[in-house]
A and B are shown apart, each in its own frame.
Chain A
């Protein structure tokens, strides 16, 4: 039960992160004044954001939530 709640909450966080990232990409893509700088910033932002998200998902699925909660309760 607790694990499902955590997964839903985490899903909301991930979705918010992806949405904000997409809006940032949209702004950089549409409103940049210099094409060289546009592609450089898009590259940096996309690479770092995606790496952070992938590692975070890996960490999340590696956590043994039931073990952690049993430790907290006892």
Chain B
């Protein structure tokens, strides 16, 4: 079980302990990072290919222009990389000993935070569909609730079965504690 003692999220309550932090599976983000990887290859390729095909350019004043354009492209790649990374890193589901918090980050200007008390969980379903998700063990976890928002979804997360077990165990533990308190 990972240790989340040094982790903290805004809105964390007193005595609230993070049990698990879940992000989308890395394969889900690979497609977007692949585009960045191609951009980096293009950038590196320009250093090798340009002198081979246009040797005159290197010696001329146009070389500064090409360096400027390469650098400008490098800036674009760097920012794109971080925009994708922010979308991935801050898009997270946090399971605590009291509730489940869903922080949905879409780009830089769209952030939604929703939460679900463990007591309101009615049913948990996992769904792993497709060859790659089955091989890499990632998929969706659906939580059926009694509230206004009837379904709480963990999308394309790693180890959905493990998440389901964690949530079930937390709920059992909570029910046992509630039963114990009601007897007292």
Q: Which chain A residues have a beta carbon within 8 Å of chain B's beta carbons?
A: 13, 17, 20-21, 23-24, 27-28, 30-31, 33-36, 45, 48-49, 52-53, 55-56, 59-60, 62-64, 67-68, 71
Contact A56 B72, CB 8 Å, known A33-B8, A67-B61: yes
Number of B residues near A (Cβ < 8 Å) is 27
Q: Which of B8, B21, B61 contacts A68 (CB 8 A)?
A: B61
Q: Which of A33, A36, A48, A67 contacts B9 (CB 8 A)?
A: A33
What 4 pairs between A and B have smallest CB-CB spacing? A59-B68, A33-B7, A56-B71, A52-B75
B109-140 interface bits toward A, Cβ cutoff 8 Å, 1 = contact, 0 = none:
00100000000000000000000000000000
Q: Decide: B64 and A33 in contact? CB cutoff 8 A.
A: no
Residues of B within 8 A of A30 (CB): 10
Residues of A within 8 A of B108 (CB): 20, 23-24, 27
Residues of A within 8 A of B105 (CB): 31
Q: Decide: B62 and A68 in contact? CB cutoff 8 A.
A: yes
**Smallest beta-carbon distance A2→chain B, Å:** 14
Q: Which of A13, A28, A34, A45 contacts B72 (CB 8 A)?
A: A13
Residues of B within 8 A of A23 (CB): 108
Residues of B within 8 A of A24 (CB): 79, 82-83, 86, 108
Residues of A within 8 A of B64 (CB): 59, 62-64
Complex formed: what's the CA distance from A48 to B79 in Å? 10
Complex formed: what's the CA distance from A21 to B83 in Å? 10
Contact A59 B71, CB 8 Å, known A27-B86, A33-B21, A34-B7: yes
**Smallest beta-carbon distance B102→chain A, Å:** 14
Residues of A within 8 A of B9 (CB): 33
Contact A31 B10, CB 8 Å, known A20-B79, A24-B82, A52-B74: yes
Contacts beyond the supplied A17-B75, A20-B79, A36-B6: 18 A-B pairs with Cβ under 8 Å? A13-B72, A17-B79, A21-B79, A24-B79, A24-B83, A24-B108, A27-B108, A31-B111, A33-B9, A34-B8, A35-B8, A52-B71, A52-B75, A59-B64, A59-B71, A62-B68, A63-B68, A67-B61
